[in-house]
Structure 1
Amino acid sequence: MVERWFAELTNKQIRRGVHKTVRALEKDMRSWIAAWNSDPKPYVWAKTADEILERLAIYLNRIPDSED
């Protein structure tokens, strides 16, 4: 879940923003985190682990040399 949270931070704040200094980036990140923490929402997985692994196996079987 930690990885998913960092992906949200990256996609919604870091990539979308324009930060001219490290200080500005840090300020924007802290603001985003404060907003997130004021109204947190749990992640809801749409598929089971077995369904995800099955789809991954199908995908890997289509890629040449994926068994190396």
Structure 2
Amino acid sequence: MEFKKFLAKLDKEVPADLDVHLILDNYLTHKTPAIKKWLLAHSRFHLHFTPTSASWLNLVERWFAELTQKKLKRGVRRSVQALEGDIRNWLADWNEHPRPFVWTKTADEILDNVAAYCRRISDSSH
């Protein structure tokens, strides 16, 4: 229900005359019957899902992978407070010295991968 609360918060905070487009991964929480019902009643919301086989498109997921690999897996913490402190320190450092992600594939390579994915999913319905 956290996702539904998030949608309701957006609905309150985004001016009513604007459409809301959300780019999401394919997590089942984003597709429950309750969410589908909510979306029917809120037609200005448009969900766009990243392809299942292309999680690298999800930069939030990529950022958490960076946090996990470079900070969380490299230490031992004896309390939740110590873990929270490490995460807060990581965030402070990241915000002080941001490191943008750089795509290593060309736009054509990305579009080719998306086209191949679309062909695979359209062929799977037969």
Could you state the TM-score of these two structures normalised by the residue count of structure 2? 0.40
SS of the residue 2:84 aligns to? helix
**1:18-29 aligned within 5 A:** 18-29=76-87
Structure ranking higher on relative contact order (CA contacts 8 Å, 6+ apart): 1
The structure 2 residue matched to 1:39, chosen from 89, 97, 120, is 97
What is the alpha-carbon root mean square deviation over aligned residues? Answer: 2.0
Among 72, 75, 94, which residue is 1:14 paired with? Answer: 72
Structure 1, unpaired ranges of 5+: 58-66
Cα deviation for residue 17 of structure 1 reads 1.1
In 1, the alpha carbon distance for the partners of 2:66 and 2:81 equals: 20
Percent identity of equivalent pairs: 53
1:4 correspondence with 2:62: yes
Bigger fraction of residues in helix:
1
Alignment: residue pair count: 56
The amino acid that maps onto 2:97 is D
4+ residue runs of structure 1 moved beyond 6 angstroms? Answer: none
Larger C-alpha radius of gyration, 1 or 2? Answer: 2
Structure 2: segments with no counterpart, 5+ residues: 1-58, 118-123
